[in-house]
Structure formats: C-alpha cells, structure tokens
Amino acid sequence: MKQSFKIGNKLVGEGQPCFCVAEISGNHNGDFERAKEIVYAAKEAGADAIKLQTYTADSLAIDCNNEHFTLKGGLWDGMNLYQLYTEACTPYEWQPKLMELANNLGMECFSSPFDLEAIDYMNQWNMPAYKIASFEINEVQLIRKAASMHKPIIFATGIAHKEDIDLAMKICEEEGNEEVFLLKCVSAYPTPYDEINLNMIPTLAKEYGCQVGLSDHSMGSTVPVGATALGIKMVEKHLTLKRADGGPDAGFSMEPNEFKDMVDNIRIIEKALGNSEYALTERQIKERSLSRSLFVTADVKAGDIITSDNIKSIRPNAGLHTKYYNEILGREFQKDVKKGEPLNWEMIKK
C-alpha cells in the first residue's frame, strides 16, 4: 500500500500533517444555508476537508415498520430506520454546491457513498475520495466499485471483525487500489473513553501496511490529539454550529471552537489508550446488528426466481451475508416469503 498520496490537491499520509476532516452528516438539519455555515465554520476551525454522506433512505433500508427496522436504545431509540435516514440525508443537489464552496475556501470535499448509484453521482463532480462507513464494511459490491475508481478509499472499522477488514483490503488489492486509509473507530454515540482502545492504531498499521487514522465519536478533542501521538495521519470529527440546535448527530458533534481547540489532556489520553488486542466490545457487537445483509424486498411465491427486484442488500444484519448476492441470483424461492423478511438458506431452493 502507498504510504503517501493525494486527496484532491492535498498530500496525505507518511511525512505529512494529520489530515483533519469535518463531517457535516445530518447537522445541516435540512437547511442548505446552515450547511454552508458549517463549511465556513470548518474553514475557520482549521479543517483540511469537509465530508458529506451521499445516500437516500432507499440506499440503506426499506419503508417497513416491522421489528427489523426499528432502532432500540441509544440516540435514535424507537425510530424507524427509513424515517431516520430520510431526516438525516444530505440532498444530492446540495452536494456539488458544498464541494465548490469548500474548494473555493481551500478545503477538499469528499463523501461516503451508500450505494452504487451514489458512486456514479460523486464521479460526476470528481469528488477526490470515497469513505466507506462502518456499517458498510461488509458491503462487498460497494467496496469493489469504489476501489475500482482508483481514488483514495477510506474505511471506518467501527463494527468490523478482522475478517471484514481482510476482505475489504483484499478487494482493494484485486482492483489495484493502493491508496487506502483505515480509520480506528467505535460505533457508539458518544463513545465512552474506556472503549476507544487507541493502542489498536499501531496494530492496524503493522497488520495491513497502510495509512491509519481515527474516526472519533467521543466528546472533546483529547482523544484525537492523543491518537496523533500514535501515528494517525487522518482524523474525522462531526461538526455542528451548536449542539443545542439539535439534529440526528448533534449530541456527539463538536462545535467550531472545540474543533479548533484540539488541546492535549493527558489523563483522558491515559484512559483512552486501552489495549492493542483486536476484539469488539459488547457495544460494538450490538451495533454490528445494523450492518448490511440480504433481505426479501417484495412478496414472493414458491418457485419465483430470485432477482435484484426481490432481494436487496440493506441494513440491518439479520439475513444472509452480502457476499452470497451474486451466487443466489437466478435460483428459486422454495416457499412464500413476505416483504421485509431476512433472507436465509431455507428460503432458497437447492
């Protein structure tokens, strides 16, 4: 893997300063002018780049109210997945305008695609990198297409088992993409300091021979500052104007003065260092249930052919692994199945 490369016009990686990324996510609260204000605030706070999320609710879930699609616990307890993503998404028509604004201010702008169409859309505007979100670490089709574009690809590892990272890196290798970042991450919002395990950072770097960074959801800036001492070359933090303004991600986002401040706090660093053993915490294992799997997306009868019109890779992780998608296309259902059911082998004719 390359040890340094460009994201847009900025050289990142070995020998370069830590690349500081401000994630807008859903903190625009549905207001384009507010989204622009966050971009300006990111510039004033010293960000090297802003990051968007390119998806619609249909990219991630289906409009279904059964138990598989209702969140339990955490910030979004009781919300329907489809409703959450409808509220939090950044309208596609905003994205080239926000990218142009960021570029005019001297920052880069890239995004997280959540389906294949999002990658095509990002390519229209020549976005310089792809960030694969934690819950898409097992979405092999998305990873392969992103890797095949031969632009830098950035993986968050918040709910990843080692075999998930192995597979993602293998796909990048197969596609000839050597411009890879792995971001240490815990998918807990906000993340308790004693679950962060910063000592995993050198372990990831040694294991995979690529650049390593941090996607951090803890409160404050001490953890990313401490992680910089462990060799990270990228840090990503969610940015909002004021947490009190609310929004899907406001509760764990930084305010501009906090992003800019990023001061050292030794006691929190000591607490956050953790251990270097690769293992998911109980919280990460629970959150993993929201990663991708195969679902039946239309009512089907026994004998119907399995096609892209009646199965889909979506959240949550209750059905077959996405790696079986191409293998089962063209086979027959062996029994009637209702829309919204997780796909399993018992439903598929041998």
Query: Binning pLDDT at 50, 70 and 90, where does residue 123 land?
Result: very high
The structure's pTM equals 0.83
How confident is the model over 154-180, as a mean pLDDT?
98
> What was the pLDDT predicted at 266?
37
- Report the 3 state secondary structure along the chain: CCCEEEECCEEEECCCCCEEEEECCCCCCCCHHHHHHHHHHHHHCCCCEEEEEECCHHHHCCCCCCHHHECCCCCCCCCEHHHHHHHHCCCHHHHHHHHHHHHHCCCEEEEEECCHHHHHHHHHCCCCCEEECHHHCCCHHHHHHHHHCCCCEEEECCCCCHHHHHHHHHHHHHCCCCCEEEEEECCCCCCCHHHCCCCHHHHHHHHHCCEEEEECCCCCCHHHHHHHCCCCCEEEEEECCCHHHCCCCHHHCECHHHHHHCCCCHHHHHHHCCCCCCCCCHHHHHHHHHCCEEEECCCECCCCECCCCCEEEECCCCCCCHHHHHHHCCCEECCCECCCCECCHHHECC
Report the alpha-carbon distance of residue 290 to residue 39 in Å, rounded: 29
Report the length, in residues, of the chain.
350
Report the alpha-carbon distance of residue 71 to residue 69 in Å, rounded: 7
Q: Which pLDDT tens digit goes with each residue over 9-42?
A: 999 999 888 898 999 999 999 999 999 999 999 9
Angle (CA) 4-168-99 rounded to 5° is: 55
What the block records as the tokens of 94 is: 């905003």
Q: Nearest Cα to 42, choosing from 127, 91, 104, 92?
A: 104
Is residue 35 within 8 Å of 241, Cβ to Cβ? no
Q: Which pLDDT tens digit goes with each residue over 49-62?
A: 999 999 999 999 99
What the block records as the tokens of 175 is: 């596609």
Domains and CATH numbers, the chain: 4-289 (3.20.20.70), 292-350 (3.90.1210.10)
- For the beta carbon of residue 336, count every other beta carbon within 10 angstroms: 12
> What was the pLDDT predicted at 65?
87
Query: Binning pLDDT at 50, 70 and 90, where does residue 176 land?
Result: very high
Q: Which pLDDT tens digit goes with each residue over 205-253?
A: 999 999 999 999 999 998 998 998 898 889 999 999 999 999 889 999 9
> What was the pLDDT predicted at 128?
98
Query: Binning pLDDT at 50, 70 and 90, where does residue 273 land?
Result: low
State the chain's mean pLDDT as an integer.
Answer: 93
